[in-house]
Structure 1
C-alpha cells in the first residue's frame, strides 16, 4: 500500500467519526510514521499501531500553554498484520477510534472491553 493510499485510509477513518463527536475534538494533530521507536525505559521490542500523546479532555484545566495533542499511526506494524487493503482500512479505523477515545479520557481497559482494543 502506498503512502497516499494509507493516508487516504486515515482520512476515511477520521471522516467516520460522528460530526457531533468530531466537533468536540480540540487541538489534536494526526500523524503517520513508519514505526514506533520505544523509549529507553521501554521493552525494545514494543510494537504499537497508534499512540495518543497529550492531555485528555477529562484532565484538562484550561492550560493556555498546552501544545496540540498528537495522535500517531504507525504504518509498518499496521501493514504487517493486515492481509488486504480492506483489512488496512478496518485496522486504521479501529486504531483511530482507539486513539481519539484516549483524547476523551477513555482508558485502554474500557476500550478493550468495548471491542476497540
Structure 2
C-alpha cells in the first residue's frame, strides 16, 4: 500500500474514475435537491447514464466527436404534448459519462455542480424554459 513519509496513506493512489452507477447516484442526488414544485412537474421523467451517445444520435445531431454532448432530453416537451398523442417511450434525460468526465477534467467545476447543471438544462428542454429560468433553478439546487 502506498504511504507517504509521514505515515499517511496517499488517498489518490486507489481512486478510480466515477462509474456509470456513481454518476447516476450524483444525478439522483441533484434531482432530489431541486425545488419541490419543479421536481413534481417533471412527472416520471427517467434519468439514464451511458458512456457515449449511440451512432444514430451522433449522426442526427451532427456531432464532431461523442465528447461534444454532455446530456440529452429525449421525449415530447410539455409545450408540444397533447392528451390525444399516442403514448411513446417515457420522457428521459440521458447523461453521457465520458463526455461529463472529460469536461470536468478540463474545467474548474465540481462534478456534482456539472451534473446538476446538465440535468437542469435537460429538464429545461422538457419544460421549454429559458436559460435564465434554468440558471435560477440550478442556483436553488446548490
Task: Sort the TM-score into its range (normalised by shorter chain).
Answer: 0.7 to 0.9
The structure showing larger relative contact order (alpha-carbon pairs under 8 Å, at least 6 residues apart) is: 1
Unaligned 5+ runs, structure 1: none
Task: After superposition, give the CA deviation of every residue in 1:44-88 in whole Å (9 maximum; x if it has no partner).
Answer: 43510000011111111112423211210011011112149x711
2:118 to 91, 95, 99: 95
Larger Rg: 2
When the two structures are superposed, what TM-score results if normalisation uses the length of structure 2?
0.67
Moved over 6 A (4+): none
When the two structures are superposed, what TM-score results if normalisation uses the length of structure 1?
0.80
The alignment covers a number of residue pairs equal to 112
1:111 to 111, 128, 131: 131
Q: What is the aligned-residue RMSD (CA, Å)?
A: 2.5
In the other structure, the counterpart of 2:25 is 8
1:50 to 71, 78, 83: 71
Residue 79 of structure 2 aligns to a residue whose secondary structure is helix
